[in-house]
Structure 1
Amino acid sequence: MVGVHAYRWNESIEPRLQQATERMRRLRATKMPAAAVQSLRHWFRIHHTYNSNAIEGNRLTLPETRAVVEDGITIAGKSLKDHFEAVNLAHALDFVEALARRETVLGERDVREMHGIVLRGIDPENAGSYRRINVRIGGTKHVPPEAVRVPEEMRTFGEWLAGAKTEHPVVVCAIAHAWFETIHPFVDGNGRTGRLLANLLLMREHFPAIVLLLEDRARYYAALDVSHSGDITAMVEITLDRLDDSFEEHERAAR
């Protein structure tokens, strides 16, 4: 047991965590041209939006996502929901970036606000509101807490979010991601909100944001599945793998 959470992870990931810290320090010491920073932001916004939505079944391709988000184009033959999901997630990322720069304490309200943006115009009744029904998640034995328990579970989670943490930022990110998905506090949009939250925690500690890829879906779901029993080793590993990708993008831009 560490603090209020009961998560555990394998010590074998320690060297990789230290390596991530080293790369982050080196990256912070590098002066990057403003244009490179802009271009990275741009790249991440489109790739995260496309992949995070695609994991949930959105049918827009990467180029279509770019056209919707950057040019405001509606794609023929694709649903308005697909379109809204892309626009909303890009806006939610802007919100997360702003939140990452602020010195404020993170909490439950920020999570609800993120979710409110994710479902804006798609499901106004549930956007930013905790579920009032009991749910099951397909493909897993894990049963999320009953609806009546959600506000209390989220209060505990919010208090942990707001508190001081001794774990490595990548571990903190994996804990938050796993814990949030275990509660599954919303009717819809939990996956996208969880991935936004994970990135927010990384960015707050000066790590680059990550893009969990559509091709990671099976591995990602398996890692979440194991995490419901308290072991987040697989979640930390997939986070580190994608962090390596992000470091490479940043290091290339810095050169």
Structure 2
Amino acid sequence: MNIPWREVEPLPKLNGAVEPILLTVDSLHAAWKRSIEQAPPAEFAEARQRSLRRHAIETGIIERLYDLDWGVTEALVAEGITAEVAAREGGVSEDAFNLMRDQLGALEYLVEAVQEQRELSSFFIRELHQLITQHQPTYDARDALGRAVQVPLPRGEWKSQPNHVRRPDGTVLEYTPPEQVASQIERLVELYRDTAGKHPVARAAWLHHRFICIHPFADGNGRVARALTLLVLLQGHYAPLVVDRRNRAEYIRALDAANDGDLRHLVRLFAELEIVSLRAELERPALTSPAVSSAAAVIAAHAQRVLERERTLDVAEGAGALALRRELRSRVVRWLQRIAAEVQQAYVPIDPKATVDVDLRRVRALVTVRGHRLEYTVVIRTVADTGACDVRVLALAQQARGDAHPSTYRGAVLLSDLPPNDRAVAVAPDTLQAIWPDVEELLDRTFTLAVDRFTRGLYAE
């Protein structure tokens, strides 16, 4: 079954389902703007450059153009996508390095275009594609017999052959035919201008998806679409978000939901990733002079930030955030107490002496089965001076040392290797009712994940 292409559709009216998370974005955005005003320009510029480098690396990984382990990725993000860092890390091919450099160059060009207040246009889109694919000579295609072949990639030129994608359910989603691309891109640009005044995150999600629906190039459409997302956010004076490899499955599901007419999933995902970006800027790590590299200097820098934070904590949190944190804590504890009884009963066939205790002070559940322990902790804290509260989880599995020391454990293993946006943020007490389903879903999903991995470890060799 084929799903025929459609003309570019305007930004739909989004119902109240996305309003709470956009409210959270705006609350953090206000604090982020104040943070920028107070931060040294060089510090902000370096933070922005790190975001661009991460985007440049991850956008190619999302497309399966190359793969990097996290250690190499973090080195390139922190120090720069340079031949020296790549050679030192020993895990970057020349082709991957060139693609990342091209993608970074395109993003830097985009930042300059925003600073110069250039408008979105079909010419600009083609320029972006040409820069992104500068060192990509070919792309994967199929010949008339269905065989995989390498075809020269026309850089900065609209596609000349139809393209489509087969969805998981077997249906074929058709993109805009070649002869309609130019007119549909012009329509996209015009409708984008009409969205002025709408929330930048919603605009970004809309532009991203509608561009993907056109699929105007033979290859590189996803990378251009993610660059255009950055364009929208920078034009709206928001932080650049990054879709990374851990978000890939959720990102594809959100795009697929948008193909079926529901843009809200993509808006929510982009809002979550924007929250991650804003929070990262608000919680910048302590910086030290390049000339100072001793452990003592690093500790001193962190200590200074801790002292500064403690001096402003009362002002930063305020009565509203304190009330919100207390109510969130109370609800989470009740959730843990309810689930604890169910989980303990479920473990009885495995170990009649299994226990599941809830530590009220530290907001955590302690599961003990056959000498093994699972520690599931919920961390609730105020985010900078925003009045918002951040909810995240940490799960550790531990083994008992032996019969001689039944209450001491060893071999702690982190179980919650979750995407950076896998957390919830509540803004104010009067929004808690709206955001609580998201918090509860986060708790249920992550606790289920932790229990599953912990239980598998009970019978693993």
- Tell me what 1:133 maps to: 161
- Tell me what 1:54 maps to: 61
User: 1:16 is matched with which residue: 16, 21, 26?
Assistant: 21
Q: Distance in 2 between matches of 1:180 and 1:10?
A: 23
- Tell me what 1:71 maps to: 82
Give the 3 Å change call, closer, same or farther, for CA 234–147 of structure 1 in structure 2.
same
Q: Distance in 1 between matches of 2:81 and 2:9?
A: 42
Shift of 1:4: 5.7
| 1:116-161 alpha-carbon deviations (Å, 9 max, x no partner) | 1111131385111111100122436321011111111111112223
Bigger CA drift: 201-210 or 160-169?
Answer: 160-169
- From the two aligned structures, give the one with the greater helix fraction: 1
Give the 3 Å change call, closer, same or farther, for CA 109–61 of structure 1 in structure 2.
farther
Bigger CA drift: 67-76 or 162-171?
Answer: 67-76
Opposite residue 29 of structure 2, the aligned amino acid is: M
2:118 is equivalent to residue 104 of structure 1: yes
User: 2:270 is matched with which residue: 239, 247, 253?
Assistant: 239
The answer (yes or no) to whether the contact 1:130–1:150 under 8 Å persists in 2 is yes
2:283 is equivalent to residue 252 of structure 1: yes
Opposite residue 167 of structure 2, the aligned amino acid is: G
| 1:43-88 alpha-carbon deviations (Å, 9 max, x no partner) | 2122212211111112234554529953225666855432221111
User: 2:176 is matched with which residue: 145, 148, 151?
Assistant: 145
Instruction: Give the number of equivalent residue pairs.
Output: 253
Q: Distance in 2 between matches of 1:128 and 1:62?
A: 32
Shift of 1:115: 1.0
| 1:161-188 alpha-carbon deviations (Å, 9 max, x no partner) | 3445232111101000010011111111
- Tell me what 2:332 maps to: none
Q: Distance in 1 between matches of 2:176 and 2:184?
A: 8
Secondary structure at the residue paired with 1:253? coil
The answer (yes or no) to whether the contact 2:241–2:277 under 8 Å persists in 1 is yes
Opposite residue 18 of structure 1, the aligned amino acid is: L
Secondary structure at the residue paired with 1:185? coil
Shift of 1:237: 0.8
The answer (yes or no) to whether the contact 1:9–1:231 under 8 Å persists in 2 is no
- Tell me what 1:26 maps to: 31
TM-score by length of 1: 0.89
- Point out where structure 1 has 5 or more consecutive residues left out of the alignment: none
Shift of 1:6: 5.5
Q: Distance in 1 between matches of 2:46 and 2:11?
A: 39
Q: Distance in 1 between matches of 2:208 and 2:185?
A: 13
Secondary structure at the residue paired with 1:142? strand
- Tell me what 1:84 maps to: 98
Shift of 1:18: 2.3
Shift of 1:222: 0.9
Secondary structure at the residue paired with 1:9? coil
The answer (yes or no) to whether the contact 2:153–2:219 under 8 Å persists in 1 is no
2:12 is equivalent to residue 7 of structure 1: yes
Q: In terms of Rg, which structure is larger?
A: 2
Cα RMSD for the two superposed structures? 2.5
The answer (yes or no) to whether the contact 2:28–2:275 under 8 Å persists in 1 is no
**Percent identity between the aligned chains?**
22
- Tell me what 2:324 maps to: none
Q: Distance in 1 between matches of 2:166 and 2:103?
A: 23
Q: Distance in 1 between matches of 2:69 and 2:188?
A: 34
- Tell me what 2:218 maps to: 187
Give the 3 Å change call, closer, same or farther, for CA 83–70 of structure 1 in structure 2.
closer
Shift of 1:202: 0.7
Shift of 1:243: 0.8
Secondary structure at the residue paired with 1:21? helix
The answer (yes or no) to whether the contact 1:107–1:161 under 8 Å persists in 2 is no
- Tell me what 2:50 maps to: 43
Give the 3 Å change call, closer, same or farther, for CA 217–125 of structure 1 in structure 2.
closer
The answer (yes or no) to whether the contact 2:81–2:100 under 8 Å persists in 1 is no
Secondary structure at the residue paired with 2:173? coil
Q: Distance in 1 between matches of 2:91 and 2:240?
A: 32
**Relative contact order higher in (CA < 8 Å, ≥ 6 apart):** 1
Give the 3 Å change call, closer, same or farther, for CA 79–188 of structure 1 in structure 2.
farther
Q: Distance in 2 between matches of 1:72 and 1:41?
A: 21
TM-score by length of 2: 0.51
